Every structure is written in structure tokens, then in C-alpha cells.
């Protein structure tokens, strides 16, 4: 089975190992119950118990046992899903709670019917599959112990028929091994042999059935206790309160026989089937089943007949409707044909008019394209002419650049020549400065001379095109041995030249003042010896 084949619905309860959810089978819409079991955290024992339940319910096929339909495993989520029969009537625990809440007791006939159906289901479990009609348990078959019979595990279908379910704690016994040793179950329904951890067999299920039957009558458990030790004590004694007075003595005897503390004295299912009340219930159940089958078949036949009649009526109505539709369609087709003829003529005229307009539009666009093409040719010629003009300008610019580079090269050579000249001039100046130091020494020797001062000789020149003056001041040498010293300094354009500021016309006799020969020139003069400024030197002797 696949999970996709079932539509999940609401959760309806919990079982031994997981949730129980109502599902709908997609193939036919049948409502079923799905047990969702998470085996991720299960130990090996619990997994073995789960496998045992699946194997048990798969083989058990009885009208009073919850039917097994399918199973599938989800390995990714560690889940196993078991599809079971859905019991719409709930369980006996809900029924007991409802009666207790309303203060009503169940009718004795209903209790006998429930008892007979549970006996039938247990007989199927205890004495072999498909052997429920046999009155003798002597034949060797595989025995199944339910081990957890209680109101929560007994269900009702829509017709209040018993369905024994939840085989999570069930166990199979081989014919050679008729006693079990593991101790499981619900404490309030455990037999004395289970309580005392003794060996047990099918009679343990009979004890649990007696507890269930007592609870259906009295609406309370036969052994009430507030502690496990008190419960064990009461179960071992086997004393139960009497049933309500409205129930028969026969029912009292049956319950007491099932709750006998000695399992040997407890009757088995075959012995209970010999009871007249049980036989009557069984016959009534068979009659009810036969009547139910007949009624079901009658309902199925009536349903089929009704379905056929409905199908015929539907087909007849469908045919009539189709005839009317055909007649209507035929009339519509006639009207549509005439309308189509008119539409065709209108459509042809419209196409012709559109074709003429389209031809006119095509001619107009063709003329516009021709004009645009001529305009593009004219612009292309203009672009070509502009490109040629740009080439001419580029050539002229390149020529200017070459010419400028040549001029810069000449200027660079002139600068190189000027640097060489300045180097030579600097060397000569150093020589003159050395000679000047000799002159200063001789001047010290001549300070005591009393020769008359010779007036200076002045010359002033004015060059054409030069705004500044060139003044050369000569001082007569005081002695033949006086070396000549020249210091060059350009005349500042913003400063006027004053001869008297350089040389006075008279020198005091007691104060001898000598000055070096000074040449002041204009920087723009081509005859200037150098563009570099030489500092003026003045030697004073007092």
C-alpha cells in the first residue's frame, strides 16, 4: 500500500504504540482507521512486538475481530502504518462512561449479545484461524493470547456489533507450549496467575473477559484499589461486589465462573458456548446476520434497480434534451448561415477597402523612404568633406608642432651655449676676485700717501630703444700696481641711477676712499656679458 492512496482525516484515539487516525481510501471513498507507529525509539523487544501484532491481525479474519486491510513502511521517517477497519460506534469504555454519566444500566440482553460476540472472537484466537464454528478445542492449532482485553480494546461498528481489536500485546503459543511466562496487560484486568507471575494460558483472557463483563453490568471495575499492593491482594482473594439487582442469577454465575482464582476451574470458550443463553444469542445473531444479509442484498437489488431506473430516466431526459438541443442548433445554424453570408460580403468589401488604403500608404512610405535615402547621401557627402577638412587641419597642426619642436631644439642649444659662456665667465670672475685681494693689500700701504685727489671722469650713454641707462664710472688708478676689477650688476628698471650715490666729487684728504670699477648694464642689452647678477663690492679705507 502507498500513503498516497489514503486521505488523512482527524485523529480518533491512541493505541499501544502510536496514534489512530481516520482515513479515506481514495479508490472507493471507504472510511478506514490507520495506526501510525513511530519505531525510531523502540527497543528490539518493542519492534518484535510490533511485528507480532502485524502478523497476528493479518491472519485473523473474523466478523467480531477488527479487520486488517493493508500496511506500508516509511523508512525515511521511521514510521509504519497499519490500515484497519474503522468502528464508528467507538469502544465499550466510552459506552460505560456514557451510562455512568447518565445513571443508566445496560440492558441484560445487550450484555449477553456483547458477551457472545466477544466469546466468538476469543474462540477464533484461542483455537485456530477459521475454526470458530468448531465446538472442540482438542484439535491442535496455533493459539493467540490477546493479553489485553479491556473496554478500551473492544469496539462497536455502526450496527453495535462487537469488534475485538488492539492486538499490540498479543502473543502466539505453539501447540506443544501451552503456557506463557511474560507478564503484560492492564493491572485491573490481570488474572491472579499474571499478578503472581505464574504460568498462564488462554484462561487468563477468560479472567479479563469476566472483569469486562462485570464492568458492563456494574459500570465499575470488579477490583478497585488505590495502590498496587491492595489490587494484588483483592485479585488473589477473588471476591467481588454483587451485581446490581436487575441482572439475572445466571449472569452472576457466569461472571463468577470467569473470575475463579483457579484457572483450572475457569470454563473455556467452548464450555460457554454450551450455555442456553449463549446459544440463543448465537442463533439470534445468525438470524440477524441472515436477515441483515438478506436485507443488505435486497437493499443492493433495490439500489441497483433504482440506479438503473435513474440511469434510464437520465438517459431518456438526456436524449430529449439532446433532441431539443439539435433542433435549436439546426435553427441557429440556419440563422448563422444567412448571417455568415452577409458577414462574408461585408468582410470582402472591408478587405478590398483596406487593400486600397494599404497600397496608398505603401506608396507614401516608399516616397518618404526615397527622400530619406537622398538626405542620408547628402549628409554622408558632408561628413566626408568634413573628414577631409579635418585631415588638412591635422596635417597643418602636425607641421606647426614639428616647427615648434625645431624652435625648442634651437632654444635648447642656445641655452647650452649660454651655460658654457656663464661657466667661463664664472671662472674669470674667480680670477678677478683673487686679484682684488692683492689690490686691497696694496691699498693699505698707500693709505698714508698725500697725493691730491684726482676728480673722477664720468661718461653717460643713452642707447636707442632702451629705457634704462648705462653708466660707466671710472676711477683713476691710485698706483700703477693697482689691479683692475670689474663687477657686473644689472640696473633695476624701477630704480633711477644716481652718480653721486656711487662716487662723490670730492674725497676728504684725511679719509681715503677707494672704489672698484663698476659696470651697470640693462638686462635687455644684447652686449651685456651675462644675464647673471654679480654682487657689487666696495672697499673702504679710513
> What is the sign, positive or negative, of the torsion defined by CA atoms of 396, 397, 399, 404?
positive
Buried b (16+ CB within 10 A) or exposed e, 410-439: eeeeeeeeeeeeeeeeeeebeebeeebeeb
DSSP one-letter code for 245: T
How wide is the angle at C-alpha 238 spanned by C-alphas 270 and 215, nearest 5°?
70
Per the CB < 8 A criterion, the answer to whether 522 and 489 are in contact is no
| Residue 35 assigned ligand-binding role | yes
d(CA 228, CA 35): 31
Q: Which three cell numbers mark 428?
A: 674669470
Q: How far is CA 496 from CA 68, 214, 499, 523, in A?
A: 135, 149, 10, 15
d(CA 183, CA 235): 15
Residues with catalytic annotation? Answer: 148
DSSP one-letter code for 67: P
d(CA 421, CA 398): 35
d(CA 154, CA 150): 7
Buried b (16+ CB within 10 A) or exposed e, 329-353: eeeeeeeeeeeeeeeeeeeeeeeee
Residue 246 CB neighbour total at 10 angstroms: 9
Binding residue numbers: 35
Binding residue numbers for ATP: 35
Amino acid at each position: 500500500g502507498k500513503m498516497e492512496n489514503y486521505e488523512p482525516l482527524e485523529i480518533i484515539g491512541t493505541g499501544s504504540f502510536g496514534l489512530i487516525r481516520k482515513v479515506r481510501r481514495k479508490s472507493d471513498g471507504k472510511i478506514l482507521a490507520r495506526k501510525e507507529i513511530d519505531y525510531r525509539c523502540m527497543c528490539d523487544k518493542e519492534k518484535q512486538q510490533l511485528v507480532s501484532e502485524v502478523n497476528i491481525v493479518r491472519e485473523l479474519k473474523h466478523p467480531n475481530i477488527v479487520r486488517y486491510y493493508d500496511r506500508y513502511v516509511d523508512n525515511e521517517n521511521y514510521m509504519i502504518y497499519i490500515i484497519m477497519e474503522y468502528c464508528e460506534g467507538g469502544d465499550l469504555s466510552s459506552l460505560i462512561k456514557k451510562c455512568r454519566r447518565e445513571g443508566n444500566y445496560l440492558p441484560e440482553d445487550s450484555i449477553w449479545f456483547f458477551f457472545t460476540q466477544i466469546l466468538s472472537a476469543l474462540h477464533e484466537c484461542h483455537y485456530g484461524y477459521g475454526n470458530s464454528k468448531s465446538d472442540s478445542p482438542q484439535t491442535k492449532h496455533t493459539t493467540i493470547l490477546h493479553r489485553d482485553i479491556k473496554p478500551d480494546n473492544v469496539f462497536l461498528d455502526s450496527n453495535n456489533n462487537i469488534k475485538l481489536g488492539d492486538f499490540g500485546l498479543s502473543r502466539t503459543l505453539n501447540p506443544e507450549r501451552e503456557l506463557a511466562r511474560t507478564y503484560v496487560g492492564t493491572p485491573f484486568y490481570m488474572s491472579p496467575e499474571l499478578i503472581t507471575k505464574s504460568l498462564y494460558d488462554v484462561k487468563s483472557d477468560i479472567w479479563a473477559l469476566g472483569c469486562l463483563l462485570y464492568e458492563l453490568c456494574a459500570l465499575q471495575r470488579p477490583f478497585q484499589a488505590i495502590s498496587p499492593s491492595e489490587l494484588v491482594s483483592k485479585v488473589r482473594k477473588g471476591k467481588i461486589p454483587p451485581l446490581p439487582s436487575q441482572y439475572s442469577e445466571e449472569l452472576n454465575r457466569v461472571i463468577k465462573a470467569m473470575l475463579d482464582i483457579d484457572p483450572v476451574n475457569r470454563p473455556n470458550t467452548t464450555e460457554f458456548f454450551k450455555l442456553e443463553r449463549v446459544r440463543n444469542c448465537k442463533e439470534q445473531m445468525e438470524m440477524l446476520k441472515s436477515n441483515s444479509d438478506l436485507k443488505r442484498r435486497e437493499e443492493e437489488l433495490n439500489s441497483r434497480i433504482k440506479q438503473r431506473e435513474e440511469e434510464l430516466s437520465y438517459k431518456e431526459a438526456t436524449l430529449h434534451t439532446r433532441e431539443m438541443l439539435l433542433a435549436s442548433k439546426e435553427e441557429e445554424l440556419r440563422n448563422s448561415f444567412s448571417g455568415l453570408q452577409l458577414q462574408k460580403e461585408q468582410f470582402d468589401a472591408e478587405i478590398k477597402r483596406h487593400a486600397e488604403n494599404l497600397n496608398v500608404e505603401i506608396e507614401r512610405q516608399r516616397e518618404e523612404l526615397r527622400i530619406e535615402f537622398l538626405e542620408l547621401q547628402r549628409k554622408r557627402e558632408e561628413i566626408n568633406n568634413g573628414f577631409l577638412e579635418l585631415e588638412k587641419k591635422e596635417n597643418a597642426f602636425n607641421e606647426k608642432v614639428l616647427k615648434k619642436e625645431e624652435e625648442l631644439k634651437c632654444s635648447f642649444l642656445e641655452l647650452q651655449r649660454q651655460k658654457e659662456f656663464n661657466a667661463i665667465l664664472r671662472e674669470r670672475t674667480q680670477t678677478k676676485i683673487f686679484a682684488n685681494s692683492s689690490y686691497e693689500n696694496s691699498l693699505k700701504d698707500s693709505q698714508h700717501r698725500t697725493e691730491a685727489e684726482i676728480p673722477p671722469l664720468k661718461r653717460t650713454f643713452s642707447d636707442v630703444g632702451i629705457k634704462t641707462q648705462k653708466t660707466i664710472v671710472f676711477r683713476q688708478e691710485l698706483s700703477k700696481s693697482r689691479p683692475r676689477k670689474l663687477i657686473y650688476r644689472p640696473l633695476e628698471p624701477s630704480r633711477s641711477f644716481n652718480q653721486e650715490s656711487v662716487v662723490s666729487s670730492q674725497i676728504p684728504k684725511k679719509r681715503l676712499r677707494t672704489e672698484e670699477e663698476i659696470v651697470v648694464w640693462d638686462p635687455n642689452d644684447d652686449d651685456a656679458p651675462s644675464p647673471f647678477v654679480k654682487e657689487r663690492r666696495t672697499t673702504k679705507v679710513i
